Structure 1
Amino acid sequence: MNFFQEPQSTQMKEIFSRLPKKLNKGLSLILGLGTAASVGLSAPKPAEALPFQDLIVPGIQYFQLSNLSTKEKVKLGSNIHQQVRSNYRVGTNANITRIGQKLVRSSSCSQTPFKFYVVQDPSINAFATTGGYVYVHSGLINAADNEDQLASVIAHEIAHICNDDLIGKLRQAQLAQGAASLAGLNGSKLTAVAYQLAVDLPNSREAEFNADAKGLQYLQRAGYDPNAMPAFLKKLVNRSSAPAFLSTHPNPRERISVLERKIANNR
């Protein structure tokens, strides 16, 4: 099942087309040549390298991203977190953690040690990386009418991690570039690429609908009102100025329709 549901030769073109030229060039260099380009971010702190000797097939030096253990995903998520901290004001919040852990217990990857953070940013947004790292913007927290609506967003982000969506993006990037060109890509450079894919580039349409579906299940299992998920989307759509993130996601009205059908059919 292809990530962008297109031939591999065009998958990375779509990723690159969403970047400004400067970032495009930086990401191309990192993916293709293994250079130390900064991908347009503020100078990140050096990230500790993953144990790639365990991730490389002898002879062809091909990173086995599909076989990462939970421990290795957590390590990659921790490395990405250092870059998130370099670029955002990040903190913790007891209520967000409580809601998040309640949802994790109802998820399909409760063995992952999840961590929840608040990004001090007035924009309405949230994102997830890998290994249990979930981030919610303060603007989104303020926009939610109640805990159920806030939980619906957190459940969606948890689902992205349970579905290994960032790892899937990395695999597709790797396949598109070819194993040989990645032979020199070390842990810190992989972290930079993973940050770019997780924070700055959107997920595929398929990944977003899958995260909606799983997130809805987690929401219901945790005892929250499932109607909160389409209700919050409706609220955002009806704002005088729709949040920017909606432009990089599938049509929100279609998402709302699909969610309401699933709730009606108890799926």
Structure 2
Amino acid sequence: MSLWLGQAQVSQAFSLRGRIRGGTQTTEAVQPNRLSPEQEMRVGQKMDQDLLRSGEFTLYQNPDIQNYVVGIGERLLPYSDRADELIYTFQVIEDDQVNAFATMGGYVYVTTGLMAFAGNEAQLASVIGHEIGHIDGKHLLEQIRADAVRRGLMTATGLDESTIAQIGVELLRERPNSREAEYDADQRGLDMIGDAGYAQSAMPDFMQKLADQGGSPPEFLSTHPDPENRVEALESSIDPNQRNGDGLDSTAYYNRTQALR
């Protein structure tokens, strides 16, 4: 899961989707994995506010970079399983660490460090697609449910939205996704970038680049399954007709992200 930027810009590619209404928050208990899209967006918004208010993350104040990430996200969204349910918010976090994550309700984050490390747009798109895949798979919501049960916090009716958000923030800080969730997000992201016209080969290439850099693994890898195994799984899943495609021009990508250098 991951974060990022200034005035958070919301993707409006699907203006008819369900949206947060009225600004009020229900106190009714609900099972975390049964949140309505509107409830999930409210919880995601609260998590975003809590994370930014804590000072742990600083939004990157460069509208060109932010708009670039939003544009990639909007290109992928038509191929998301939940494009008609959620309004997505893509943000860039000012952080040299190579990392990316998603919370819930459409909130996706990437770091400036990851953007600088990526070699082309297709590699960056593969990370964004992976994080959208976590939201599509409701992976954090399932983690929250399991954690609440483990800690004895779950009532017969569930949890209120504030408690769901609080547990979600704690999980983001403390625990990686499961191996199964990461492989699922990989596959969802791979399908997404291929359908959007990006080269599917970029996803295993980026994963291999992370694995090959040596030294201590970046946070992106230290909280995820063995990258070599993921590379093999991705390579075996690539559609031969989608192996090559858009986004492989490294010079064009360098020029678009020069502010990060």
Band of TM-score, shorter chain:
0.7 to 0.9
How far does the alpha carbon of each residue in 1:40-98 deviate from its partner, in whole angstroms, 9 at most, with x for none? xxxxxxxx984132xx3xxxxxx322221100000000000002212210246000000
Q: What amino acid is the match of 1:250?
A: P
Q: 1:68-147 maps to which residues of 2 (within 5 A)?
A: 68-86=35-53, 87-91=56-60, 93-111=66-84, 112-147=86-121
Distance 1:65 1:185, change over 3 A: closer
Q: Which residue of 2 aligns with 1:171?
A: 145
How far does the alpha carbon of each residue in 1:8-52 deviate from its partner, in whole angstroms, 9 at most, with x for none? xxxxxxxxxxxxxxxxxxxxxxxxxxxxxxxxxxxxxxxx98413
Q: What amino acid is the match of 2:115?
A: I
Q: Which residue of 1 aligns with 2:231?
A: 256
Q: SS of the counterpart of 1:250? A: coil
Q: How many residues were matched structurally?
A: 212
Contact 1:132 1:161 in 2 (8 A): yes
Deviation at 1:174, TM superposition (A): 2.2
Q: SS of the counterpart of 1:136? A: strand
Query: Structure 2: any 5+ residue segments left out of the alignment?
Result: 1-22, 243-261
Q: What amino acid is the match of 2:81?
A: S
Deviation at 1:196, TM superposition (A): 1.5
Could you tell me how far apart the structure 1 residues matched to 2:219 and 2:67 are? 27
Q: What amino acid is the match of 1:89?
A: T
Distance 1:266 1:167, change over 3 A: farther
Q: 1:203 aligns with which of 177, 198, 202?
A: 177
Contact 2:43 2:162 in 1 (8 A): no
Q: What amino acid is the match of 2:31?
A: Q
Distance 1:200 1:177, change over 3 A: closer
Could you tell me how far apart the structure 1 residues matched to 2:154 and 2:229 are? 41
Deviation at 1:141, TM superposition (A): 0.2
Contact 1:49 1:188 in 2 (8 A): no
Q: Which residue of 1 aligns with 2:249?
A: none
| Root mean square deviation, CA, Å | 2.3
Q: What amino acid is the match of 1:246?
A: L
Distance 1:194 1:130, change over 3 A: same
- Percent of aligned pairs with the same amino acid: 37
Return the TM-score normalized by structure 1.
Answer: 0.73
Could you tell me how far apart the structure 2 residues matched to 1:199 and 1:128 are? 12
Query: Structure 1: any 5+ residue segments left out of the alignment?
Result: 1-47, 57-62
Return the TM-score normalized by structure 2.
Answer: 0.75
Q: Which residue of 2 aligns with 1:39?
A: none
Deviation at 1:137, TM superposition (A): 0.5
Contact 2:43 2:165 in 1 (8 A): yes
Q: What amino acid is the match of 1:52?
A: T
Q: 1:66 aligns with which of 28, 33, 36?
A: 33
Higher helix share: 1
